[in-house]
Amino acid sequence: MSYLQLVKGRYRVRMVVPPALRPVIGKASLVKALGTGDRAQAEHLAIPYTEFNARLKVAAAQLGVKYRRKPQSPSALVPGGKSVIAKVGMPRYWVTPPDLYERLDTEFHFDFDPCPCPRPEGFNSLQIDWGEVNYVNPPFRREDGVGGRGTTAFFRKAIEQHRSGKTVVLVAPTQPYVNAMLEAGAELRSLGRVRWLDVDTGEPCPPPGPVTCFILR
């Protein structure tokens, strides 16, 4: 988890990369000015950068390096030596477990990641063509995506890229019963949006919802 530091009335994110991990991570530290003195706003702006710490933990585990986040010296934070460090709340971004990614990469041989973490400044994969074989772990909520665009936008982009001849492996949360049916060998079929009928009046429900048909045979 990253730390917020209040420096001269403005929050920033600062994480130092241990020397043993710098060849893997490619940098000595992550310092990002958030441009606000409001803590709630700073916590929201800092959320994407918490994933950088997750990368450090993964790299440390792979190299067998002991890694532990420690706050910076209070004297380095604000005048007078008073430490003003606020832990960021629950991360809204999650990286793929290395063993899962390796298993999929061995099968598909990915050459492009439309949802890299941390996301480079200004990068928006919804506005560009993807690679030939893509691994997509999209933001699960709209507010976490670029411009408020979440999972659905990436599903649509994946379909568009697939129609142009590209391979897309996209992962997303699902209901336990969906996986149970898939593991049982079910055939899945879209029924579109179904307007179910009221049992008493026979009137269709106003907001039709998407329905999937599961077939075991």
> Mean of the per-residue pLDDT values for the chain?
78
Distance CA 67, CA 18 (A): 8
**Whether residue 105 sits in one domain with residue 55:** no
**In this structure, are 7 and 83 located in the same domain?**
yes
Residues 68 and 17 in one domain: yes
Q: Tell me, yes or no, whether 102 and 77 share the same domain.
A: no
What pLDDT is attached to residue 119? 81
pLDDT digit string (tens) for 155-188? Answer: 999 999 999 999 999 998 888 899 999 999 999 9
Tell me the C-alpha distance between 126 and 110, whole Å: 18
* Whether 82 and 126 share a structural domain: no
- Say yes or no: 14 and 68 in one domain: yes
Tell me, yes or no, whether 161 and 196 share the same domain: no
The predicted model gives 190-194 an average pLDDT of: 93
In a domain, 203, yes or no: yes
Q: What is the mean pLDDT of residues 19-46?
A: 75
Question: Given the DSSP bridges, would you call strands 167-170 and 133-136 parallel, antiparallel or unpaired?
Answer: parallel
Extract long-range pairs of 161-164: CB within 8 Å, 24+ residues apart: 161/129, 161/130, 161/134, 164/129
Q: Which two tokens stand for residue 150?
A: 């979440």
Helices 98-108, 50-63: crossing angle, 10 deg rounding: 80
Q: How many domains does the chain have?
A: 3
* Boundary (domain end) residue, out of 42, 60, 87: 87
| Domain contains 142 | yes
Q: Are residues 81 and 117 in the same domain?
A: no
Give residue 213's Cα distance to chain centre: 29
59-72 confidence digits (pLDDT tens): 777 767 665 554 33
Of residues 32 and 130, more confidence is placed in 130
Range of the structural domain that residue 29 is part of: 3-87
Query: If pLDDT is split at 50, 70 and 90, which confidence band does 134 have?
Result: very high
Q: Which residues are within 8 A (CB) of 37 and not within 5 positions of it... i.e. 6 or more apart?
A: 6, 9, 10, 11
Label residue 75 by pLDDT band (50, 70, 90): very low
93 falls within a domain: no
Q: Please identify, among 87, 113, 133, the residue that sits at the C-terminal boundary of a domain.
A: 87
Q: Based on the fold, state whether residues 124 and 165 are members of the same structural domain.
A: yes
Using left for φ > 0, alpha for ψ between -120 and 50, and beta otherwise, residue 190 falls in beta
Q: What is the CA radius of gyration of the chain?
A: 22
How far, CA to CA in Å, does 14 sit from each of 30, 44, 106, 131? 6, 15, 35, 32
75 in a structural domain = yes
**Nearest residue to 105 (alpha-carbon basis) of 117, 113, 93:** 113
pLDDT of residue 113: 92
Residue 76 above 50 pLDDT?
no
140 Cβ contact partners less than 8 Å away, ≥ 6 residues apart: 92, 150, 151, 172, 173
pLDDT at 66: 62
Q: Which residues of 63-93 are buried (b: 16+ CB within 10 A; e: fewer)?
A: eeeebeeeeeeeeebbeeeeeeeeebeebeb
Please indicate, yes or no, whether residues 158 and 192 belong to a single structural domain of this protein: no
Q: Is residue 157 part of a domain?
A: yes
Hey, how many other C-beta atoms are within 10 angstroms of the C-beta on 206? 6
92 located within any domain: no
Q: Which residue did the predictor score with more confidence, 113 or 11?
A: 113
Q: Which residue has the higher pLDDT, 179 or 77?
A: 179
Domain boundary (27, 54, 87) is at 87
Q: Are residues 35 and 68 in the same domain?
A: yes
More confident residue, 60 or 204: 204
Residue 150: burial class (beta carbons within 10 Å; 0-12, 13-18, 19+)? middle
Q: pLDDT at residue 118 above 60?
A: yes
Provide the CA 85 distance to its chain's centre, in angstroms. 25
163, 180: one domain: no
